[in-house]
Structure 1
Amino acid sequence: MNCIDLFAGFGGFSTGARMAGANVLWAANHWPDAVHWHSVNHPDTAHACQDLHQADWSQVPAHDLLLASPCCQGHSKARGKANGNPEHDASRSTAWAVVSAAEYHRPEFALVENVPEFVDWTLFPAWEAAMNALGYSLAPHVVDAADLGVPQNRVRLFIVASRSKAPLRLNLPKLDHVPASSFIDWEGGRWSAIDKPGRAAATLERVANGRAQYGDRFVMSYYGNTKSGRDAGRPIGTITTRDRWAVVDGDRMRMLSADENLAAMSFPAWIQRPNNHRLTVHMAGNAVAPLAAKHLIEAIKQAA
């Protein structure tokens, strides 16, 4: 199966496609850093660094499966217009590039990833109608990546578009959950004392509550409204584009390392990354979980 990857970012969709035995022929993103690292990890893929609103689809190779992860910030409750995202409308409009690409190439399948709120978009009925007009039936799947073996609870919408009369419902596996402890290096990283000068009272409260519930070792969200920790024996919570999760071990704590963020996303060990913690975390949190993508694409291949 041959694929292209729109809004490819760091390459979660592309990596999952390779894990599923598919060929990623072409990938595009508007962010030069993301395109660079995608090309490092996928050297046999042709790359374009551009705004996909302006894409010339005649320059894109024919393919069986279109993968796309349009910008989700305009749809997310945390980053939408009501929360002061100035790029709200522009980010939502990226979804129309999927329609444009599908109109030109008419691949047998498209797999579109976004947050579940994507279907609440005022223009979603028009977007769906446009895909229907091109001959695609749409089957939305709301998937928690943890159910597909990713050591993270990450709920995302995957819309399967197929050139068929009836929507294609995928037969996805339901796998055992993988704990956060599977990727945490308890001996590595840069630790600091929990009881140090300047530590926020809210942080100390979370640590105390976490200890009471989970003992000396657990993870916790370092910001937000949470009041406690999270059992390291279950998947970690959603990885975001900035440092979020802290690891607590006895009287010391630290943030997840860049490599742990990638492992929490299920990126394989062979993936190369920038020597920059913040950039790696941003790219990881913006990606599709590769292992989830693998299982979805394998299910599409089985149904083809």
Structure 2
Amino acid sequence: MNAIDLFAGAGGFSTGAQMAGCNVVWAANHWQQAVDTHAANHPDAQHVCQDLHQANWENVPAHDLLLASPCCQGHSKARGKLSGNPQHDASRSTAWAVVSAAEYHRPQFAVIENVPEFVQWSLYPAWRMAMEALGYCVAPHIIDAADHGVPQHRERLFIVATRSKHPLMLQFPLRDRVPASSFIDFDAGKWQPIEKAGRAENTLARIAEGRRIHGHRFISSYYGNERGGRSLNRPVGTVTTRDRHAIIDGDRMRMFSAQECRAAMGFPTDYQLPAQHRLAVHMLGNAVCPPVARDVINALKEAA
């Protein structure tokens, strides 16, 4: 099965598709550094760096499966009061590139990934009707990556669109939860003392509460709602586009390394990342977890 990857980013969707036996023939993103990272890991695919609002779909190879991760920032509740704000209209409009690509090529299958709030978008009913007008049945699935062997709780929406008589509601294998301890290396990284000049009071308070609940080793988030930290025996919370998770070990602490973020996302250990930590974390935080993409595509192939 040949696949294309819209808004491919660092390549999580493409990697999952390859795990499911697909041949990724084309990938596009508007950010050159992401395209370069994708190309380093998927050298056999054609790569394009462009705004997909302006794409010439005639130049895209024929394919059976369209994969797409339109920009999610305009939908995400993580933006608080900015969620759904008109300033993000251009961000949300990237979803229409999926309709445009599907209209030209009419692949048998499409899988679209986004945050669950995507279906609350005021234009989602129109977007769905557009896909249905092209002959697609649309089946939304809410999936937590932790249920697919990824050591991270990450709920995302996967819309399965098929040129079939009825929507396909997929069945997935039950996989064991993988704890954060599976990828944290206490002998590596740049550790700092917890008690040091300039450490924020809120940070110290979160760590103190985490010690009370979990002991001397646990994970503490720099932002979010995990005031008491998280046990190493559970999957970690959602990996984001900037450093979020700190490892606490006695009287020392450090942030996740890019390699630990890569493992928390379910990427292979040999997956190439940008050398700059900030860029690597940003790309990983925007990515699709490859094992989830693998399981969705395998279930789609089995059900079709």
Give the TM-score taking structure 1 as reference length.
0.97
Distance 1:81 1:101, change over 3 A: farther
Give the unaligned 5+ runs of structure 2. Answer: none
Aligned runs of 1:213-252 on 2, under 5 Å?
A: 213-252=213-252
1:160 matched to 2:160: yes
Aligned runs of 1:49-68 on 2, under 5 Å?
A: 49-68=49-68
Aligned runs of 1:126-145 on 2, under 5 Å?
A: 126-145=126-145
2 CA distance for matches of 1:46 and 1:191?
Answer: 41
Q: Which amino acid aligns with 1:53?
A: H
2 CA distance for matches of 1:104 and 1:303?
Answer: 25
Structure 2 residue aligned with 1:111: 111
2 CA distance for matches of 1:81 and 1:252?
Answer: 35
Give the aligned CA root-mean-square deviation in angstroms: 1.3
Q: Aligned-pair distance for 1:225?
A: 4.5
2 CA distance for matches of 1:224 and 1:149?
Answer: 24
Q: Is the 8 A contact 1:73 1:80 kept in 2?
A: no
Q: Which amino acid aligns with 1:162?
A: T
3-state SS, counterpart of residue 132 of structure 2: helix
Q: Which amino acid aligns with 2:10?
A: F
Q: Is the 8 A contact 1:66 1:110 kept in 2?
A: yes
Q: Aligned-pair distance for 1:208?
A: 1.1
2 CA distance for matches of 1:8 and 1:121?
Answer: 22
Q: 1:189-227 deviations in whole A, cap 9, x for unaligned? A: 000111112211111111111111111110010124442
Structure 1 residue aligned with 2:263: 263
Distance 1:188 1:43, change over 3 A: same
1 CA distance for matches of 2:83 and 2:18?
Answer: 37
Q: Which amino acid aligns with 1:142?
A: I
Aligned runs of 1:71-220 on 2, under 5 Å?
A: 71-79=71-79, 82=82, 87-220=87-220
3-state SS, counterpart of residue 141 of structure 1: strand
Q: 1:52-75 deviations in whole A, cap 9, x for unaligned? A: 011111110111110000000011
Percent identical pairs in the alignment equals 68
Q: Is the 8 A contact 1:81 1:88 kept in 2?
A: no
Q: Which amino acid aligns with 2:103?
A: E
Q: 1:231-256 deviations in whole A, cap 9, x for unaligned? A: 01000000000000000011110000
2 CA distance for matches of 1:81 and 1:222?
Answer: 20
Count of aligned pairs: 304
Distance 1:80 1:251, change over 3 A: closer
Q: Is the 8 A contact 2:66 2:111 kept in 1?
A: yes
3-state SS, counterpart of residue 218 of structure 1: strand
Q: Which amino acid aligns with 1:56?
A: N
Q: Which amino acid aligns with 2:232?
A: A
3-state SS, counterpart of residue 240 of structure 1: coil
1 CA distance for matches of 2:225 and 2:273?
Answer: 31
2 CA distance for matches of 1:82 and 1:276?
Answer: 29
Structure 1 residue aligned with 2:29: 29
Distance 1:39 1:243, change over 3 A: same
3-state SS, counterpart of residue 118 of structure 1: helix
Q: Which amino acid aligns with 2:24?
A: V
2 CA distance for matches of 1:80 and 1:301?
Answer: 37
Q: Aligned-pair distance for 1:86?
A: 7.1
Q: 1:69-100 deviations in whole A, cap 9, x for unaligned? A: 00000111123773596741000000000000
**More displaced stretch, 85-94 vs 136-145:** 85-94
**More displaced stretch, 169-178 vs 238-247:** 169-178
Q: Which amino acid aligns with 2:174?
A: K
Structure 1 residue aligned with 2:48: 48
3-state SS, counterpart of residue 5 of structure 2: strand
Q: Is the 8 A contact 1:80 1:88 kept in 2?
A: no
2 CA distance for matches of 1:133 and 1:173?
Answer: 32
**More displaced stretch, 192-201 vs 252-261:** 192-201
